[in-house]
Amino acid sequence: MAEIGTDIEKAAALLAQGELVAIPTETVYGLAGNALNIDAVAKIFAVKNRPAFDPLIVHVPALQATKKFVQEIPKKAERLAQLFWPGPLTIVLPKKDEIIPALVTAGLPSVGFRCPDHALTRTLLNKLAFPLAAPSANPFGYVSPTSPQHVNDQLGDKISYILDGGVCTIGIESTIIGFVAENPIIYRLGGLSLERIEAVIGNVEVMTHSSSNPVSPGQLKSHYAPGKKLILGNLIDLLQKYPAHSSGILSFEKDYNSPYQRILSPGGSAEEAAKNLFHYLRDFEAMPVDIILAELLPEVGLGRAINDRLKRASAVDI
């Protein structure tokens, strides 16, 4: 098992040696390595068992730090970074030559940058002379980790150190936005809502379903899978169809009086639901249930991003 601690110096030293460290962010835990060191980046793909066609996000301490790696920063991107960084937004920018290895970006001419909003990780990034490539710290295709323990459960035998920043406050991955001829496109719905982005830069195209050749592999239909089959629908109907004694229930706000249920937010808050989502999906693993019955949230705010995760989780055949 990996060591879990709050020693930033130790994390920085390991990263400088080309080792991997799990880092906390406000969205989910990341599996970090030096983005400019090919061997470190290759280790990230190996540890996650991630296909090489899936590019990594590069984490920086501020927008300024992206400048030497990109050709230009569109005005709208700059505005978004000013308002929402540090925060749960990844901005895809046109890449300049080969300073950032092609392995990081899976050969794409663009690179996704994120400035995470977590005190420990910001201190770490400010200490380092290089940015951090960091995908979510889970095996490829599985639910993202929102606590140090989640990381240790799945990757503990493959990495030596987990920087402990507590439970993630947002709980779902960052929203990913890019620009084609100045037109904004969202590639992944996430911790920053579409509404908040549109309030700043106007209409945004949402392009999160690209089946065969994904621009952003988070777009793959079967992603974010918990270990059990997840069935989406109206919970009252589903409970008539499936046996209550062997079905887990994941409801938004309603109490179904089952020993095998998780209520995402009894008060009906999508923010609270996002924070609990991945943790609760993992809880069903330890329950004596065969399937998970779940319902969608209202399709507004973070509800969109949660529904996206639930739909992808339900698309997996286990």
Binding site for ligand TXA (CB under 6 A): 25, 27-28, 30, 54-57, 90, 92, 105, 108, 110-112, 114, 116, 134-136, 173-174, 176, 178, 187, 215-218
| Residue type (1 letter), 26 | E
| 8-16 helix and 119-127 helix, angle to the nearest 10 degrees | 40
* Phi-psi label, residue 268: left if phi above 0, alpha if psi -120 to 50, beta otherwise: left
For residue 248, the partner it binds in Mg ion, ligand TXA, none, with Cβ less than 5 to 8 A by kind, is none
What residue number has its CB nearest to ligand TXA? 218
Q: Which residue, chain included where needed, has tokens 């950032």?
A: 100
Q: Which is nearer to ligand TXA, 66 or 251 (CB)?
A: 66
Q: Which is nearer to Mg ion, 31 or 77 (CB)?
A: 31
Short-list 175, 180, 246, CA closest to 208: 175
List the structure tokens of 162: 């987990």
Q: Which residue, chain included where needed, has tokens 């005190």?
A: 119
Short-list 145, 151, 309, CA closest to 225: 309
Asked if residue 250 lies in contact with residue 294, where contact means CB atoms within 8 angstroms, the answer is yes
> Cβ of residue 176: shortest distance to Mg ion, in angstroms?
11
For residue 111, the partner it binds in Mg ion, ligand TXA, none, with Cβ less than 5 to 8 A by kind, is ligand TXA
Short-list 281, 58, 277, 48, CA closest to 172: 277
For residue 20, the partner it binds in ligand TXA, Mg ion, none, with Cβ less than 5 to 8 A by kind, is none
Q: Which is nearer to ligand TXA, 217 or 226 (CB)?
A: 217
For residue 217, the partner it binds in Mg ion, ligand TXA, none, with Cβ less than 5 to 8 A by kind, is ligand TXA
> Cβ of residue 108: shortest distance to ligand TXA, in angstroms?
5
> Cβ of residue 162: shortest distance to Mg ion, in angstroms?
17
Contact residues for Mg ion (CB under 5 A)? 136
The DSSP line for 78-90 is: HHHHHHH-SSSEE
What residue number has its CB nearest to Mg ion? 136
> Cβ of residue 257: shortest distance to ligand TXA, in angstroms?
35
What residues does 225 pair with on adjacent strands?
142
Q: Which is nearer to Mg ion, 27 or 251 (CB)?
A: 27
Q: Which is nearer to Mg ion, 136 or 219 (CB)?
A: 136
> Cβ of residue 49: shortest distance to ligand TXA, in angstroms?
13
> Cβ of residue 247: shortest distance to Mg ion, in angstroms?
27
> Cβ of residue 254: shortest distance to ligand TXA, in angstroms?
29
What residues does 275 pair with on adjacent strands?
none
For residue 92, the partner it binds in Mg ion, ligand TXA, none, with Cβ less than 5 to 8 A by kind, is ligand TXA
| Residue type (1 letter), 248 | G
> Cβ of residue 172: shortest distance to Mg ion, in angstroms?
10
Q: Which is nearer to ligand TXA, 165 or 248 (CB)?
A: 165
Q: Which is nearer to ligand TXA, 174 or 261 (CB)?
A: 174
For residue 281, the partner it binds in Mg ion, ligand TXA, none, with Cβ less than 5 to 8 A by kind, is none
| Rounded Cα gap, residues 54 and 135, in angstroms | 10
The DSSP line for 169-224 is: SS-SPPEEEEEETTEEEEEE--SS-HHHHHHHH---EE-----SS-SSGGG-SS-S
Asked if residue 22 lies in contact with residue 148, where contact means CB atoms within 8 angstroms, the answer is yes
Q: Which is nearer to ligand TXA, 35 or 263 (CB)?
A: 35
By CB atoms closer than 10 A (0-12, 13-18, 19+), residue 167 is middle
